[in-house]
């Protein structure tokens, strides 16, 4: 019967080589997992928007059924795919607001407005969020912006602010 003898130096080299291979393997797996679902997998902004729009439409459908938590997940997925999708950010804010997550809603509305300053619905919804938070001065600023934009939403926001003020009095 033959016995295999390995000196310490050879064993150390073998273990070191296996360790390096294992680290490379883990790094490769991490990159693959990170890339799955990231916007970098889409070749163009049109492809990103098309994919994001699939989730956006699902979010709208759920929102119409007043399933705001589920809708917010779809809108969040849409903005994860296409972070420049202002309407998805606005609807994400709406679904958060309907869940009572006002700080998250404000963040989403501000992101929508930063991307598309003339997006009237985002200004209206941000104003409504501020009113619901009791921040009527900020709600009034959003109302003024809507008036400057010449938006029909200005009347809706003004009515919402007055109703909210009356309810809080």
Q: Give per-residue pLDDT as tens, 16-25.
A: 777 766 677 6
CATH topology of domain 44-116: 1.25.40
Q: pLDDT digits over 65-84, tens only?
A: 999 999 999 999 999 999 99
pTM here is 0.74
Q: How far apart are CA 60 and CA 48, in angstroms?
A: 18
What is the pLDDT averaged over residues 113-128?
97
Choose among 116, 74, 118, 75: nearest CA to 93. 75
Strand, helix or coil at 134?
coil
| pLDDT band (50, 70, 90) for residue 11 | low
- Looking at residue 45, its pLDDT comes to 85
What pLDDT score does 168 carry? 85
For 21, the token pair is 């291979």
Q: Are 129 and 101 in contact (CB under 8 A)?
A: no
Helix (H) or strand (E) holding 125: helix 120-132
Per-residue confidence (pLDDT) for residue 41, from 0 to 100 = 60
């Amino acid at each position: 019967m033959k016995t295999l003898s390995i000196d310490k130096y050879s064993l150390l080299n073998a273990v070191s080589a296996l360790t390096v291979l294992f680290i490379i393997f883990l790094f490769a797996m991490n990159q693959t997992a990170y890339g799955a679902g990231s916007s970098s997998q889409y070749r163009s902004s049109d492809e990103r928007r098309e994919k994001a729009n699939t989730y956006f439409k699902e979010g709208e459908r759920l929102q119409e059924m007043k399933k705001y938590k589920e809708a917010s997940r779809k809108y969040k997925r849409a903005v994860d795919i296409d972070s420049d999708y202002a309407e998805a950010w606005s609807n994400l804010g709406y679904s958060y607001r309907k869940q009572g997550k006002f700080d998250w809603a404000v963040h989403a509305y501000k992101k929508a407005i930063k991307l598309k300053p003339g997006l009237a619905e985002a200004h209206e919804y941000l104003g409504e969020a501020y009113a619901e938070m009791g921040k009527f001065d900020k709600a009034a600023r959003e109302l003024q912006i809507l008036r400057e934009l010449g938006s029909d939403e200005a009347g809706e926001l003004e009515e919402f602010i007055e109703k909210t003020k009356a309810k809080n009095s």
